[in-house]
Amino acid sequence: MKALVANVGVKNEAWYRVKTKFLRNIESPAAISLELIQTAEPANPAPHWIKIRSIYSAISDFDEALFIRNDWLALSGFLSFPFVPGCENIGIITEIGQQVQGVELGERVVVNPVIACQARGITPLCDPCSSGNYSMCRNFWGPFPGPGMMIGACKNTSGGWADSFLAHESQVRTISRSVETDQMIMVPEFARALRAVLQHPPAPNDTIIMIGAGSLGLLTLMALNVLGYHNRILVLAEHSFEEDRARTAHPNVQVGFTHGRGTAFEFAGDFLKKKVHYVSPHRPTIAGGADLVYETTGIRDNVEDALYLAGEEKKVVVMGMKGFSNINMTAIMLRGIRVFGPSFSGTESQGKETFDIALEMALGKSLPITELVTHRFMIDQYREALTALENRAASKAIKAVFQHIV
């Protein structure tokens, strides 16, 4: 099969681990390389596992952190090299383990990527998995398929940037062939947005600031809207083309921009009707900032801004993963900011998994998520795909996906 493989040199990885463990040196390691190769399809030795032929695989913010920003330091404990990226996937079942139930060969599926206790056959479940917080599982280094938090970060499962990959039966959800592929490929990321809102909803009169109007930010606006949260929201976008999309995603949005140090705070001051304090050369701050901040980029400067845009003892929900090494945490200590990271799908209060709620909403709520897929590439065009996302001002990319020949 054709596969895009991510790897670091053995010497580079070994030296990095020595520096980290013994020298306490945590500078950025060598860049991860991507190589398009022909390789054997993944074996399917486990009775509850399924082999899937890739149809669509999105480029997630996790992938952007690794391959555009080279900020994999913070994520290195959740990877196993060499691995095939691709954690947001749609495919067709081509092989079924002996004890798999509920799915059939040839069915089309969307895949929940996290490989927690159930997928690894671990009983009893660890405490986080028992409470429905699967992305906090304590066994990401456990039994088959071995180290790696999820499909697209685990060397033994392959990932959606290859022709085939493996998934546990608990990770797949069958979808009708009549449903648009562009609609379904957004479900894994929509589940992350929905998880953040369900776990950290605004109170009726809360003022909200959302940093980022990329796909995760827009999906979070849609989640707030569909769940009936019509609070005033300031969206701090990076690019002008994102403004109309943000206004379409939620009816009560005001849009500002993050360009330049201090600009985000000027928009926030006007929105909150509060004074911005500038203490050169340090970050501005707002006395009594927003009640709730959703940070959807994971970029260090934006995360640090979020900590100063939130009001004293208020909440910041950090959702993005584009690269957040070496964040200054002073505001948490001095302003009592409460920081939360909802991560991927889990079990919600009604007993359903976030992923299933997201799938139901995507199918039945007429959400404009299909429009977020703006760029499509074949896997051998991966350099062009990553360049489009790196240069969004020119490409106007929101979500880019790889299409596979089936």
Please report the domains of the chain, with CATH numbers, ordered by start residue. Answer: 2-185+372-403 (3.90.180.10), 188-340 (3.40.50.720)
Dihedral angle computed from the Cα positions of residues 316, 320, 325 and 327, in that order, rounded to the nearest 10 degrees: -20
| pLDDT attached to residue 262 | 58
The burial class, CB within 10 Å (0-12 / 13-18 / 19+), for 274 is: middle
Structure tokens at 361: 């909403």
| pLDDT attached to residue 398 | 98
Tell me the C-alpha distance between 254 and 263, whole Å. Answer: 15
What stretches of 131-262 show up as alpha helix (H) in DSSP? 181-184, 187-199, 215-226, 242-249
Structure tokens at 377: 């590439």
- Which H or E run includes 267? helix 263-272
Tell me the C-alpha distance between 315 and 55, whole Å. Answer: 39
Q: pTM of the entire structure?
A: 0.93
**What one-character-per-residue DSSP string does 16-35 give?**
HHHHHHTS------PPPEEE
The burial class, CB within 10 Å (0-12 / 13-18 / 19+), for 281 is: exposed
- What is the pLDDT tens value at each position of the chain, 406 positions in all? 999 999 987 444 554 455 444 444 445 556 789 999 999 999 876 899 999 999 999 999 999 999 998 877 667 788 999 999 999 999 999 999 999 999 999 999 999 999 999 999 999 999 999 999 999 999 999 999 999 999 999 999 999 999 999 999 999 999 999 999 999 999 999 999 999 999 999 999 999 999 999 999 999 999 999 999 999 999 999 999 999 999 999 999 999 998 755 589 999 999 999 999 887 777 888 889 999 999 999 998 899 999 999 999 999 999 998 766 678 888 888 889 999 998 889 999 889 999 999 999 999 988 999 999 999 999 999 999 999 999 999 999 999 999 998 7
* Contact predicate 75/63, CB 8 Å: no
CA 353 to chain centre: 17
| pLDDT attached to residue 23 | 45
Instruction: Identify the residue whose tokens are 């082999």.
Output: 51
Tell me the C-alpha distance between 109 and 175, whole Å. Answer: 5
Q: How far is CA 369 from CA 166, 220, 251, 329, in A?
A: 26, 11, 16, 34
